[in-house]
Amino acid sequence: MDDLTLSERLRQRGVSRRGFMKFCAATASMMALPPLMIPKIAAALEKARRPSVIWLSFQECTGCTESLTRSHAPTIEGLIFDHISLDYHHTLQAAAGDGAEHAREAAMKENWGKYILVVDGSIPLGEGGNYSAIAGISNLHMLKEVAEGAAAIVSVGTCAAFGGLPMAKPNPTGAVAVSDIIKDKPIVNVPGCPPIPTVITGVLAHFLTFGRLPELDHLHRPKVFFGQSIHDRCYRRPFYERGQFAETFDDEGARKGWCLFKLGCKGPTTYNACATAKWNQGTSWPVEAGHGCIGCSEPRFWDAGGFYQALSVPHTKVGETVLTAGAAGLAIGAAAAVLNRKRKAGAVENRETITVKDLSKES
């Protein structure tokens, strides 16, 4: 890690003061900070030194990295070359094999207690943690080892944040989230399958700018990105309010852009910034593309029922349940009916004939 500050580095690379301020404004806007904060960001960034970042990939699909590389503000290149020192990342680093592992160890040693640990993927605990290993080291062991010297941990993606797809029933590898293992470090969860790229870089930029993690919610997600539900910010919300729903993906409602609730949209229970930040440099996002939100940034989204089943519809086989219940009801009811008939018949049969002599207690 060299000792140049960010502003020095930028000047070295020929970035003007104006360009720098533009970057600061973009960062502030992305983090929903007031414009007043721009000079503060600039001041902070001017003095900031590049922190070391170690990125560990466990049970994951590389989708999070794919997403990260499509970050546009700040770009990943900008991030890597200008703001952080990404010292270890399977997919992005040039080194391989022992060389790569040595780079990790060296970075840890050099920046002990100061580096940022980014994790994507869940950690398998089954079979002694042997379901997944890197360079002969189990994920569990490597996480514990690297986390120990980290200043903070960023769990990128739903797998690292909440266990994600590997943890889906029946969870054959015994996958867990980072926060299930590491209890003594500040952890920020950036869930999503994958997470929005600018959210990943935004969290890193925040740390870089302010030297601390952004404000988090009860699931350790940055409030600024995960404070509101997709549904609340959805541009199709007015159709929901009017009771206008697409019933199929090719009906008139779908063509007219009506609400996708009935087609299984999980927007109401999903907290993420898709509706505002959008994807692919602000081009579009799932609902805009005509598909309901699948709730990928929520814990256990994989086991929360069919993606095409409305939230208000039970995700079990209701028809079968009704039949079972009906059969059970008929069986119990038939037994009760037989008992009732017997009792009633008994009461009727044993009824003595009453004459006027039987009416007074005295007689």
Q: Does 357 bind another protein (CB under 8 A)?
A: yes
* Near another protein by CB under 8 A: residue from 92, 135, 137, 325: 325
Q: Does 248 bind another protein (CB under 8 A)?
A: no
* Near another protein by CB under 8 A: residue from 85, 209, 229, 272: 229
The percent of the chain in helix, strand and coil, each rounded to the nearest 5, is 45, 15, 40
Least distance to another protein, CB of residue 177, Å? 12
* Near another protein by CB under 8 A: residue from 127, 247, 250, 251: 247
Binding part of the chain for another protein, among 23-31, 60-68, 171-179, 320-328 by CB under 8 A, reads 320-328
List all residues 6 or more positions away from 293 whose beta carbon is below 8 Å from its beta carbon: 230, 265, 266, 267, 270, 274, 286, 287
Q: Which is nearer to another protein, 283 or 316 (CB)?
A: 316
Q: How many CB atoms lie within 10 A of CB 243?
A: 8
State which of positions 286-315 bind another protein (CB under 8 A). Answer: 298-301, 303-305, 309-315
Binding part of the chain for another protein, among 42-50, 142-150, 254-262, 274-282 by CB under 8 A, reads 254-262
The pattern of x and - marking residues 157 through 196 that bind another protein according to CB under 8 A reads ----------------------------------------
Residue pointed to by tokens 């944040």: 161
Query: What is the 8-class DSSP label of residue 114?
Result: T
E strand intervals along the chain: 52-57, 85-88, 115-120, 123-124, 133-134, 137-138, 150-156, 175-176, 187-190
Q: Let me know: does 38 contact 28? Beta carbons within 8 Å.
A: yes
Binding part of the chain for another protein, among 38-46, 183-191, 200-208, 319-327 by CB under 8 A, reads 319-327
Peptide bond preceding 268: is omega within 30 degrees of 0, i.e. cis? no
* Near another protein by CB under 8 A: residue from 58, 261, 279, 285: 261
Q: Let me know: does 143 contact 123? Beta carbons within 8 Å.
A: yes
Three-state SS letters, 178-242:
HHHHCCCCCEEEECCCCCCHHHHHHHHHHHHHHCCCCCECCCCCEHHHHCCEHHHHCCCHHHHHC
Q: Does 215 bind another protein (CB under 8 A)?
A: no
Whole-angstrom distance, CA of residue 322 vs CA of residue 326: 6
Q: Does 240 bind another protein (CB under 8 A)?
A: yes
Q: Which is nearer to another protein, 118 or 265 (CB)?
A: 265
Q: Does 336 bind another protein (CB under 8 A)?
A: yes
Residue type (1 letter), 80? I
Q: Does 99 bind another protein (CB under 8 A)?
A: no
* Near another protein by CB under 8 A: residue from 2, 3, 98, 352: 352
* Near another protein by CB under 8 A: residue from 4, 106, 137, 332: 332
Interface with another protein (CB under 8 A), residue total 64
How many residues in total does the chain contain?
363
* Near another protein by CB under 8 A: residue from 18, 109, 183, 361: 361
* Near another protein by CB under 8 A: residue from 133, 269, 290, 291: 269
Least distance to another protein, CB of residue 176, Å? 15
Q: Measured between alpha carbons, how far is residue 139 from residues 120, 123, 128, 185 in Å?
A: 11, 6, 11, 18
Q: Does 344 bind another protein (CB under 8 A)?
A: yes
Q: Which two tokens stand for residue 289?
A: 């593309």
Q: Measured between alpha carbons, how far is residue 303 from residues 297, 299, 307, 317 in Å?
A: 13, 9, 10, 14
Least distance to another protein, CB of residue 315, Å? 5
Residues near another protein (CB under 8 A) are 219, 229, 232, 240-245, 247, 259, 261-262, 268-269, 298-301, 303-305, 309-316, 318-319, 321-322, 324-326, 328-330, 332-334, 336-338, 340-341, 343-344, 347-348, 350-361
